[in-house]
Amino acid sequence: MPSPTIIKTSPIDINNLRGRIGRVKSSAKTSKEILLIYDQDQSIESMEYLADSLSKYASVTIVDLPGLGGMDSFYKSNQRPTLEIMSAYLAALIKLRVKNNKITLITIGSGLPIAITLLQKQSQASKKVNKLISIGGFVHMFDLNQGLLKRSFKYIFYLIKSTWVITKLFGVRNKSFRTKAYINMTLAKLNVCNLPVVADLKYVSLSDKNIDENTLKQHLLILSPKSKIKRVNIKQSIDKIFTDKKQSKKLVEECLKEMI
């Protein structure tokens, strides 16, 4: 993992939840702004190569979400990290940090349904978003290329992991663990296709064998009739791309820069 020398981080406290916000100013003369929402298994530090490449075309802000990246979790205030609560936190951050210019949201993996929920249910914040670009991820549980039985077992597994029974009996009190377990439980029964979104929606396909791209495409069209999928020829898995400087640069130069 790269050392955090490019991303300048500072503490942030919203609703008594303490975390960090990272910033990379663009090297170009541009007013474009990107808000980058990483996957649940990533961190601000792991986004350094991607943020560095993106900063040639826009300034980049990266935020911790509650319970991820070392930030306080919603369990601190006896709340569960639902999509609605996560999106409300993100809306509060956008209100605090975004003044005039509209922004481009770039999400990775599990960041996509949080961003979709933001656009659907946080009207003031959604007005400040003109584009949503997703790197991987999915919007409906049937986008996963798995059988019903396997999907059901996965749901039950994460349901058990996230219950208070495990916490009480085995002393599992790690808030990051509980947040990730709850997110995975949510993903296993995911459906955020009920309401359309106004923002321009683009999807970067990494040829993930776990995703049924045809089904995903239909769901994206429900969300936005003008949504588009672009494939990029990168053989590494999504969790390894961003720790590889060359692959991060390739992702930006061959795909993302024309979407921003």
Position 95 in a domain = yes
Task: Check: CB of residue 82 under 8 Å from CB of residue 67.
Answer: no
Predicted TM-score (pTM) of this structure: 0.89
pLDDT digits (tens, 9 = 90+) for 185-194: 898 889 999 9
What distance in Å separates the CA atoms of residue 109 and residue 42, rounded to the nearest whole number? 10
Position 196 in a domain = yes
What distance in Å separates the CA atoms of residue 79 and residue 211, rounded to the nearest whole number? 30
Position 60 in a domain = yes
Position 46 in a domain = yes
> Residue 148's pLDDT band (boundaries 50, 70, 90)?
very low
Q: Classify residue 180 by its DSSP letter.
A: H
- Residue 28's pLDDT is 92
pLDDT at 35 over 60: yes
Q: What CATH number is attached to the domain comprising 212? A: 3.40.50.1820
Find, among 25, 32, 10, the residue nearest to 133 by Cα.
32
> Residue 210's pLDDT band (boundaries 50, 70, 90)?
confident
Strands (E), the chain: 8-14, 17-24, 33-37, 59-63, 103-108, 129-135, 200-205, 228-231
Q: Please enumerate in sequence order all residues whose Cβ is within 8 A of that of 149, keeping only pairs 6 or more positions apart, or say none.
A: none
Mean local confidence (pLDDT), 211-234? 93
Position 149 in a domain = no
Position 3 in a domain = no
Beta strand 103-108 with 8-14 is unpaired
- Residue 200's pLDDT is 93
- Give residue 220's domain range: 8-144+192-258
As a whole number, the mean pLDDT across the chain is: 87
CA neighbours within 13 Å on the CB side: how many for 33? 16
Distance between start and end Cα atoms, the chain: 26
Position 12 in a domain = yes
Q: C-alpha 230: how far from its chain's center?
A: 18
Position 37 in a domain = yes
Task: Check: CB of residue 203 under 8 Å from CB of residue 216.
Answer: yes
- Residue 135's pLDDT is 96
| Total number of domains in the chain | 1
